[in-house]
Amino acid sequence: MLEAVIFDMDGVITDTVPLHFKAWKKMFEKHGYNFDFQTYKEKVDGKPRLDGIASVAVGVNKEELVKMAEEKQNYFLELVEKEPPKVFEDTLKLIKLLKENNIKIAVASSSKNTKVILENIGILNIFDAIVTGYDFKKGKPNPEIFQIAAERLNVKNSNCIVVEDSIEGVKAGNNAGMKTIGIARHGNESELSHANVVVSSLNEITIDFLKKLCSEEDEHDGK
């Protein structure tokens, strides 16, 4: 039974991916690492900041990782100030549809900037629950972030659908025993193929579609 839909923020609700990528690229290249968009999607996107850095800067000590994380954060906040992120219209349309049908909605993002960004774009208060990078210890693909969201919504994991654009995010949703929709805005359908459903736009999603998806036996359960 469909009770809730949980959205990632970066790349799903807000078009912050280009800004994050620019900030990551600037930071990594300053430290001598080659960094392209494929590396961003495969190793960094969707993970807590330190985990993302450690997956590229292999073997770097904790102190240096923290320093690099602070640099990336500063670059990102500079970019946000210059170029405030846009909201994806297809996501807003789906959120409106869910609210009209009394389906609970949450944001679950690894970003510690989540509330700041949602407030800046004027949609902070429309969600029934918000989970940010400050609220959990184990990063995606660990399911903790989505389990916390379900607890705050007071719903069963199996009655939730996760909307994600990252490889690790989809894995986390699957690991939480939730249905997953991968949103491939960059033509990256194949890398999100572990989601229950992959779409290029959320305009394709209807309430009936979500209800049907939530009632199906899940091949990812327990995996």
Q: Confirm whether residue 218 is marked as ligand binding.
A: no
Rounded Cα gap, residues 163 and 179, in angstroms? 9
SS3 (DSSP) at 57: coil
Q: Confirm whether residue 193 is marked as ligand binding.
A: no
Q: Confirm whether residue 201 is marked as ligand binding.
A: no
Rounded Cα gap, residues 168 and 149, in angstroms? 17
**What is the end-to-end Cα distance of the chain in Å, rounded?**
21
Whether 218 is catalytic is no
Both tokens assigned to 87: 């909201």
Whether 135 is catalytic is no
Q: Confirm whether residue 185 is marked as ligand binding.
A: no
Q: Confirm whether residue 200 is marked as ligand binding.
A: no
Q: Confirm whether residue 208 is marked as ligand binding.
A: no
Tell me which of 10, 90, 128, 135 is the catalytic residue.
Answer: 10
Q: How many CB atoms lie within 10 A of CB 68?
A: 24
SS3 (DSSP) at 170: helix
Q: Confirm whether residue 212 is marked as ligand binding.
A: no
Which residues contribute to the annotated binding site for substrate?
8-10, 24, 44-49, 72, 109-113, 140
Which residues contribute to the annotated binding site?
8-10, 24, 44-49, 72, 109-113, 140, 164-165
Give the residue numbers annotated as catalytic, written as ranges: 8, 10
